[in-house]
Amino acid sequence: MFKNWKIILAIFVILLLTINLTGLAQDQIVIALQGEPTTLDPQFADDGNMRPVSDNVFDKLLVLDGKTLQPIPCLAIEWERVSDITWQFTLRENVKFHNGEPFTAEDAVYSVKRIIDPTFNSQIAGNFSTIKDAKIINSNTILIITNGPDPILLKRLTLLDIVNKKYTESSPNNIINTKPVGTGPYQVIEWNRGEEIKIEKFNGYWGQKPNIQNVTYRFIQENSTRLAALKAGEINLAVNMLPEYLEQLPSYKTANSIEFYFLRFNTIRGIMQNKLIRQAVNYAIDKEAIVEALFLGSAAPARGQLAKEAYFGFNKNLDAYAFNPEKAKELLKEAGYKGEVVQLISERGRWMKDGEISEAVASMISDVGINVKLTFLSWQQWLDTLFNLEKAPDIMFSSNGNELFDMDRFYQAIIKTGGPQSAYSNPDIDKKIDAARNEMDPVKRQAMYEELAQLVYDDPFGVPLINLKSIWGISKDLEWEPREDGRMLISEMSLK
Amino acid sequence: MKRYIILRLLYTIVVIFGVSILVFIITHVIGNPVNTMLPLQATDAERIALSHKLGLDKPILIQLLDFLKSVIRLDFGNSWWQQIPALGIVLKRIPATLILVFFAFVLAFVLALPIGIIAAYKSGTIIDRFFTNISLVGICFPPFWVALMLILFFSVRLGWFYTSGYGTLKHAVLPIVTLAFVPMGHLIQIIRSSMAEQLNSQYIITARAKGVNEKVILFGHALKNAATSIVTMFGFDLGRYLAGETAAVEVVFGWPGIGMLIVDTIGKQDFPLLQAEVFTVAFVICLINLITDISYAFFDPTIKY
């Protein structure tokens, strides 16, 4: 038996001797994502882990300005609205794909048509549902035709990645998924499933050359392991850090995320049909306390709507219902509330502190005298409940992310009668939502959304709770400023 | 013996079929995978289109029949997530888990054997109690916690090993040590108790009375007769570990084994992949049970099949 001990000891010693503590190389960085992307075909799906990679590999016709969220040129250098439903785009010339093919009008049109093709079944096709067709005018000019007037076409196009027609058509599906070809500043070298994705600087890139040569993406699901890896100097950037980690992180950056937590009322059936009770719930919740105590300041109270300043349709005159338990109790009395059970359905584990905030909210609601019954469902059950109006509880905890930074999506999905997540119904409001969707005059359209925001505030659809902040842990030598749209562009990073 | 093995293999097929049907039912009851796959903002039309593409709009019995056919052909179809054959994905992840489990069990066994024997030999003394407590510690500490403590100390503080990842020895040491804790605890206890039982039995007393060498008594008689229970425990733990019990540890260390794959797959509700995983896992467990049972005959000549 002692022989074994010596062998183990010997192995251990050899192991220690062979360990070389090399630091990270100068021109390369390692980024830890929370999970493995499902695919790197950015036209097919988007799971939150893909964009940090694909945004560096693919260009779009337009991109958003990192601060103002206004569309600015990328592969399209000029554009013009020819008619209510037709837009003309002039394309950038001398752009090369990673496989050496030149970027042409054919690729742009193909990319548009591919994503709206029902047989392709893109999981993000909903972003482009207003697009009807695309046509080539000449080698560097294309037309995009919409079904009706679409005031947010330009913003939609910032989500549409341009792929190479020849490569995409000739390669089998699983190659496009793992080794995509775009025109972006970085090209994919390899993807070892389960382990890492490597990308490197593309020398034929049309724009300004980035500083960093190589990037490795690792997938570390466990938050505390990402933190440990950062502290141990193995990685330069860790996504989705918790507020509790701030003091331990070598350095960090925060930015308002696109996620808004909110409660949705079932205004169609049950006790929450009563507007006064809905208002009472709004008065009962202390959002400031949630922000400070639960999120340690890494969140902001929502301003009475699921939007922040930069969103189109934000109503700056609104503010959250004040925390006023007395007023809530008065409203309940006025409503004739007699202690009926109010269901609150939530889930935990999907979003940061979703379970904790649900518990806090439930106890605040019950403090004003509402007999609230909080139930946690598994993610799958929760989804089934969310999308099925028949199953809609009185109150449901949910989160909303708006990638288009335009309020159309919110009203279509959550407010309009029959919208996929809607438990609200008001024919008047429905008409206004549809009118706003097709209004091409931005000033009028803004006014329409401001009116809508006020309407669903006064006759509450729910309680807008908080806007989360994203926290990125970064190493001391990495320089980077996060963008308002949350995209992680390596070309905006550099090493000290 | 031959007849026994054939019977057991038939039994294995029944078990795998049963487990597969059970998983089919459970996966179809927990919720519509289309909701998980599409973004929250997706429209109803998109949900219906995807249901149709995945064949989820067919009657449930037809889906079940299709699925059973796929089990027989060993072709589970393409993973919805990776769009390549599901069984291939699972098989590719097995070596990573195998490495962890193999070395963890070697480590556990090498540590547990002398400790268990000494504890049994010194039964009732302070040494015995000390080692029994060590084994309890091994069993009671949750692996994910052990993992985080090891990472904090050996990776962050000392910088000896990587916190996470896959590829070199520096990546593998901490997960292996973490995984060794529980089987080590189990093995110490089972070795101690079965050895102690043997050492107190009549034939050992007789052997001692005859003046047989103490080494021969310990290793030649007691250990060999205690082997069946040790092997049972070993096989039981081994099966569990190869079947995804390593998931928590793999997730904490970002180790691309089958445990992490299972966790990912459940989250994504990728039915074909999940079914391929369950099939593989059920097969591995049955195989290990079979090997364990056959090994009894080797250690105990009174067992005949």
Q: Which of B83, B167, B169 sits opposite A174 (nearest CB)?
A: B83
Instruction: Inform me whether the C-beta atom of residue B160 falls under 8 Å from chain A C-beta atoms.
Output: yes
Instruction: Inform me whether the C-beta atom of residue A21 falls under 8 Å from chain B C-beta atoms.
Output: yes
Instruction: Provide CATH code, domain B95-256.
Output: 1.10.3720.10
Task: Say what percent of chain B tops pLDDT 70.
Answer: 99
CA distance A100 to B12: 54
Q: What is the mean pLDDT of chain B?
A: 85
Range of lowest pLDDT (A261-275, B99-113, B278-292): B278-292
| Residue among A236, A379, A398 with most chain B CBs within 10 A, to mutate | A379
Q: Which of A121, A195, A233 sits opposite B53 (nearest CB)?
A: A121
Choosing among 3.40.50.2000, 3.40.630.30, 3.40.50.970, 3.90.76.10, the CATH entry for A59-165 is 3.90.76.10
Q: Decide: A348 and A355 in contact? Cβ < 8 Å.
A: yes
Question: A257-468 domain in CATH 3.10.105.10?
Answer: yes
Q: Within chain B, which residue ranges are assigned CATH 1.10.3720.10?
A: 95-256
Domain range annotation of chain A: 28-40+184-250+475-495, 59-165, 257-468
CA distance A48 to A398: 17
Q: Which of A174, A195, A229 sits opposite B163 (nearest CB)?
A: A229
Q: Looking at residues A359-382, what average pLDDT do you find? A: 94
Flag if A39 and B47 touch (Cβ within 8 Å). Answer: no
Q: Which of B31, B50, B81 sits opposite A381 (nearest CB)?
A: B31
CA distance B24 to A161: 37
Instruction: Inform me whether the C-beta atom of residue B271 falls under 8 Å from chain A C-beta atoms.
Output: no
Q: Decide: B298 and B290 in contact? Cβ < 8 Å.
A: no
Q: Decide: A87 and A143 in contact? Cβ < 8 Å.
A: yes
Residue of B nearest to A350 (CA): B267
What pLDDT score does A472 carry?
Answer: 96
Q: Using the predicted structure, report yes or no on whether residue B112 has a pLDDT greater than 80.
A: yes
Q: Using an 8 Å CB-CB cutoff, list chain B residues near A229.
A: 155, 162-164
Task: Say what percent of chain A tops pLDDT 70.
Answer: 95
Name the 3-class secondary structure at B50.
helix
Range of lowest pLDDT (A9-18, A376-385, A391-400, B213-222): A9-18
Q: Which of B:42-61 have CB within 8 Å of A? A: 42-44, 46-47, 49-50, 53
Q: What is the mean pLDDT of chain A?
A: 91
Instruction: Inform me whether the C-beta atom of residue A45 falls under 8 Å from chain B C-beta atoms.
Output: yes
Flag if A18 and B169 touch (Cβ within 8 Å). Answer: yes
Range of lowest pLDDT (A31-35, B167-171, B187-191, B219-223): B219-223
Q: Using the predicted structure, report yes or no on whether residue A4 has a pLDDT greater than 80.
A: no
What pLDDT score does A493 carry?
Answer: 94
Q: Using the predicted structure, report yes or no on whether residue A381 has a pLDDT greater than 90.
A: no
Instruction: Inform me whether the C-beta atom of residue B269 falls under 8 Å from chain A C-beta atoms.
Output: yes
DSSP class of residue B66?
H
How close A424 gets to chain B, by Cα (Å)? 16
What pLDDT score does A22 carry?
Answer: 42
Q: Which of A:207-246 have CB within 8 Å of B? A: 218-222, 224-225, 228-229, 231-234
Instruction: Inform me whether the C-beta atom of residue A400 falls under 8 Å from chain B C-beta atoms.
Output: yes
Flag if B31 and A36 touch (Cβ within 8 Å). Answer: no
Q: Using the predicted structure, report yes or no on whether residue A473 has a pLDDT greater than 90.
A: yes
Q: Using an 8 Å CB-CB cutoff, list chain B residues near A46.
A: 39
Q: Looking at residues B225-243, what average pLDDT do you find? A: 83
pLDDT band at A201 (very low <50, low <70, confident <90, very high): very high
pLDDT band at A20 (very low <50, low <70, confident <90, very high): very low
Contacts of A134 (CB under 8 A, 6+ apart): A108, A109, A112, A113, A142, A143, A144, A145
Q: Using the predicted structure, report yes or no on whether residue A172 has a pLDDT greater than 80.
A: no
Q: Using the predicted structure, report yes or no on whether residue B191 has a pLDDT greater than 90.
A: no
Q: Which of B:97-156 have CB within 8 Å of A? A: 107, 110, 113-114, 117, 148, 151-152, 155-156
Contacts of B182 (CB under 8 A, 6+ apart): B138, B139, B143, B237
Flag if A224 and B173 touch (Cβ within 8 Å). Answer: no
Name the 3-class secondary structure at A372.
strand
CA distance B149 to B143: 10
CA distance A347 to A111: 37
Range of lowest pLDDT (A131-135, A301-305, B48-52): B48-52
What pLDDT score does A365 carry?
Answer: 96
What pLDDT score does A10 carry?
Answer: 61
Q: Looking at residues A244-248, what average pLDDT do you find? A: 92
Q: Using an 8 Å CB-CB cutoff, list chain B residues near A177.
A: 82-83
Q: Looking at residues B9-19, what average pLDDT do you find? A: 86
Flag if B36 and A174 touch (Cβ within 8 Å). Answer: no
Q: Using the predicted structure, report yes or no on whether residue A23 has a pLDDT greater than 80.
A: no
What pLDDT score does A52 carry?
Answer: 95
Q: Using an 8 Å CB-CB cutoff, list chain B residues near A45.
A: 37
Q: Using the predicted structure, report yes or no on whether residue A17 has a pLDDT greater than 60.
A: no
Q: Using the predicted structure, report yes or no on whether residue A2 has a pLDDT greater than 50.
A: no
ipTM comes to 0.83
What pLDDT score does A289 carry?
Answer: 96
How close A483 gets to chain B, by Cα (Å)? 22
Residue of B nearest to A385 (CA): B31
* Higher-pLDDT residue of A205, B15: A205
What pLDDT score does A15 carry?
Answer: 53
pLDDT band at A5 (very low <50, low <70, confident <90, very high): low
The helix (H) or strand (E) run that includes residue A445 is: helix A442-458
pLDDT per residue as tens digits for the range A271-318 = 999 999 999 999 999 999 999 999 999 999 999 999 998 899 999 999
Considering A258-267, B157-166, B288-297, the range whose residues carry the highest mean pLDDT is A258-267
Q: Using the predicted structure, report yes or no on whether residue A25 has a pLDDT greater than 60.
A: no
pLDDT per residue as tens digits for the range A66-95 = 888 899 999 999 999 999 999 999 999 999
pLDDT per residue as tens digits for the range B23-45 = 888 888 777 888 888 877 777 77
Q: Using an 8 Å CB-CB cutoff, list chain B residues near A126.
A: 39, 41-43, 46
The one-letter amino acid code at A344 reads: L
Q: Using the predicted structure, report yes or no on whether residue A60 has a pLDDT greater than 80.
A: yes
Task: Say what percent of chain B tops pLDDT 90.
Answer: 12
Q: Decide: B240 and B248 in contact? Cβ < 8 Å.
A: no
Cβ–Cβ pairs < 8 A, chains A and B: 151
What pLDDT score does A11 carry?
Answer: 62
Instruction: Inform me whether the C-beta atom of residue A255 falls under 8 Å from chain B C-beta atoms.
Output: no
Q: Using the predicted structure, report yes or no on whether residue A21 has a pLDDT greater than 70.
A: no
Task: Say what percent of chain A tops pLDDT 90.
Answer: 79
CA distance A104 to A236: 36
Q: Decide: A116 and A61 in contact? Cβ < 8 Å.
A: no
What's the CATH class of domain A28-40+184-250+475-495? alpha beta
Q: Using an 8 Å CB-CB cutoff, list chain A residues near B77.
A: none
Q: Which of B36, B41, B42 sits opposite A380 (nearest CB)?
A: B36
Q: Looking at residues B124-136, what average pLDDT do you find? A: 86
Pair of tokens at residue B119: 């504890």
Flag if A19 and B39 touch (Cβ within 8 Å). Answer: no
What pLDDT score does A376 carry?
Answer: 96
Q: Using an 8 Å CB-CB cutoff, list chain A residues near B110.
A: 4-5, 8
CA distance A46 to A39: 8
Give the position of tokens 């097995």. B94
pLDDT band at A423 (very low <50, low <70, confident <90, very high): very high
What pLDDT score does A54 carry?
Answer: 95
Q: What angle do CA B235, B24, B27 make, to 5 degrees?
A: 100
Flag if B41 and A378 touch (Cβ within 8 Å). Answer: no
Q: Using the predicted structure, report yes or no on whether residue A19 has a pLDDT greater than 80.
A: no
How close A121 gets to chain B, by Cα (Å)? 7
Flag if B156 and A386 touch (Cβ within 8 Å). Answer: no
